Amino acid sequence: MLNIKIEPAATLKTKPADNELGFGRYFTDHMFIMNYDEGQGWHDARIVPYGPIALDPSAMVFHYGQELFEGLKAYRCADGKIRLFRPDKNIERMNNTCRRMCVPEIPAEDALQAIKALVNYEKDWIPYSEGTSLYIRPFIIATEPHLGVHPAKNYLFIIILSPVGSYYAGGLNPVKIYIERDYVRCVKGGTGMAKCGGNYAASLSGQVKAAEKGCEQVLWLDGVERKYIDEVGAMNVFFVIDGKAVTPALDDGNILPGVTRASCIEMLRHLGYEVEERKISVDEIFAAHKEGKLDESFGTGTAAVISPVGQYIDGEEEIVINNGEIGEISQKLYDNITSIQWGKAEDPMGWTVVID
Ligand SMILES: *Cc1c(COP(=O)(O)O)cnc(C)c1O
């Protein structure tokens, strides 16, 4: 059990209207902070006013990128209760990332206590409108003031909260995806399975290129053979081929194990669909499209839940999926998972955690 001290903000901000929220633009009045110092472990858990933090310019995070993060949401549900969606999965993944990045782990029960305490303290910030939620961003940075490449001796664990709008104010519009043939996001043995900021820094040039081609996201291929599909931007990816759902397997450690991905697989099986986790090549997708068997494709992630793909662009080649419209399985998954998240339906999987 953490002993969390609370320092209330002297003044509270004016909350934005639900229809102005967007994603990640507004932050609540308070944040959670906890320090780690070698020899002492994690200590001084506190909720303090949201604001800038002072760091030494030599803090190792600035130079060697020892940083990691998580992303999950709290929902204001139909019954008036506030629920988190599978926070245990995020905390488990955060500690897996910690091990990969040589960052000291945080006991799972302490991390959950911190998330719950902050969300509860800031609960007035959870928006009420349909499709809105409170995005939770826990992260850890190396703060040791030292130029030298080694695991740092000092860290900060911080949680910030951002009320977010409905991702699909204009409906679940399918996106256009650019297949990246030059840059790679990661390779086997790298940090693909870790949620660390460095992966995102490395992905920006591909993202910019995709935008220049009029695409919203990049389809990342495996870094070795450059033919198997890894992910779509910062989302996991699914295909429906001949009525069967397929998604890249996680075995090689180059794909981020999404909580939404796992939930989609479980939900699809619960609904009676067959799901395969295996290698999928771009060639297979284009061939399936040619034979008229590529029914649907969609990305999965906490922010959007399901993001239907309407088009893939590979150099001069281009395929349109399901006439650029959302498919039946994509819609069914979206409806089933979001009704559990917003407490509109029973939670047969036991995925949600009530905050009291
Ligand atoms: C966070 C993330 C995802 C999605 O994970 P969720 O837990 O479903 O939000 C997928 N790919 C990458 C690269 C990510 O960083």
The confidence score (pLDDT) of residue 169 equals: 66
Task: Give the CATH number of the domain where residue 185 resides.
Answer: 3.20.10.10
> Per-residue confidence of the chain (356 residues) as pLDDT tens digits?
999 999 999 999 999 999 999 999 999 999 999 999 999 999 999 999 999 999 999 999 999 999 999 999 999 998 999 999 999 999 999 999 999 999 999 999 999 999 999 999 999 999 999 899 999 999 999 999 999 999 999 999 999 999 999 877 667 889 999 999 999 999 999 999 999 999 999 999 999 999 999 999 999 999 999 999 999 999 999 999 999 999 999 999 999 999 999 999 999 999 999 999 999 999 999 999 999 999 999 999 999 999 999 999 999 999 999 999 999 999 999 999 999 999 999 999 999 999 97
- Pocket probe for ligand 1: among 184, 256, 259, the residue whose CB has the most ligand atoms within 8 Å is 256
Give the pLDDT of residue 170: 66
Structural domain including 240 reads 175-341
Decide if 217 contacts 232 (C-beta within 8 A). yes
Q: Are residues 157 and 210 in the same domain?
A: no
Domain assignment of residue 170, yes or no: no
CA–centroid distance, 308 to ligand 1, in Å, is 16
Ligand 1 atom, smallest distance to 90 CA? 7
Same domain for 138 and 265, yes or no, is no
Asked whether 195 lines ligand 1 (CB < 6 A), one says: yes
Does the beta carbon of 229 lie inside 6 Å of ligand 1? Answer: no
> Is 309 a member of any domain?
yes
Please indicate, yes or no, whether residues 203 and 153 belong to a single structural domain of this protein: no
Q: How far is the CA of 2 from the centre of ligand 1 (A)?
A: 28
- Give, rounded to a whole angstrom, the gap between the first and last alpha carbons of the chain: 16
> Which phi and psi angles does 133 have, rounded to 5°?
-165, 180
pTM over 0.95: yes
Residue 107 in domain: yes
Ligand 1 centroid to residue 236 C-alpha, Å = 7
For residue 168, the model assigns a pLDDT of 74
Instruction: Give the Å distances, CA to CA, from 41 to 107, 157, 197.
Output: 11, 12, 23
Best probe residue, ligand 1, of 84, 302, 338, 341 (max atoms within 8 Å of C-beta): 302
Same structural domain, 236 and 300:
yes
Question: Which ligand 1 atom is at minimum distance from the Cα of 261?
Answer: 8
Could you tell me the distance, in angstroms and rounded to a whole number, from the CA of residue 249 to the centre of ligand 1? 14
Give the residue whose CA is nearest to atom 13 of ligand 1.
234
Q: Are residues 131 and 214 in the same domain?
A: no
Residue whose C-alpha is closest to residue 87's, from 108, 68, 59: 108
Residue nearest to atom 2 of ligand 1 (CA): 234
Ligand 1 pocket check for 231: Cβ under 6 Å: yes
Residue 126 lies in a domain: yes
Secondary structure of the chain in the HEC alphabet?
Answer: CCCCEECCCCCCCCCCCHHHCCCCCCCCCEEEEEEEECCCEEEEEEEEECCCCCCCCCEHHHHHCCEEECCEEEEECCCCCEEEECHHHHHHHHHHHHHHCCCCCCCHHHHHHHHHHHHHHCHHHCCCCCCCEEEEEEEEEECCECCCCCCCCEEEEEEEEEEECCCCCCCCCCEEEEECCCCCCCCCCCCCCCCCHHHHHHHHHHHHHHHHCCCCEEEEECCCCCCEEEEECCEEEEEEECCEEEEECCCCCCCCCCHHHHHHHHHHHHCCCCEEEECCEHHHHHHHHHCCCEEEEEEEECCCEEEEEEEEEECCEEEECHHHCCCHHHHHHHHHHHHHHCCCCCCCCCCEEEEC
Q: Is residue 227 part of a domain?
A: yes
Q: Residue 354 domain-assigned?
A: no
Q: Is residue 276 part of a domain?
A: yes
